[in-house]
Amino acid sequence: METQKKPCLKCLLREMDERAYLEKLHRYIELLDGDVKTAEALYEERLAVCKTCDYLEAGTCLACGCYVELRAAVKKNKCPYKKWQ
């Protein structure tokens, strides 16, 4: 039986299992409080805008350094280039 290794809380991203990290990020987004979380339709709209942006690279905004999926998931967040309505 294969045991899943728990990510170290003091590790750098490059030292973590990529799949486990992505699962943790998406789980964090999923569990955001409703008062903080962007409505699903707006979240998808924001991500669609990001997908057309020249600053998107491997899920990261090269303009500000954020993970776009996380930035888009929080209602109060804004695009650094004001591309979100």
Rounded to two decimals, what is the model's pTM?
0.78
| DSSP track, 42-55 | HHHHHHHHHHT-TT
Q: What pLDDT, on the 0 to 100 scale, is given for residue 9?
A: 62
The set of residues, in sequence order, having a beta carbon less than 8 Å from that of 76 and lying 6+ positions away, is 36
Q: What pLDDT, on the 0 to 100 scale, is given for residue 2?
A: 53
Ranges of residues in the chain whose predicted pLDDT is under 50: none
Q: How many CB atoms lie within 10 A of CB 54?
A: 8
Residue ranges covered by each domain of the chain: 34-85
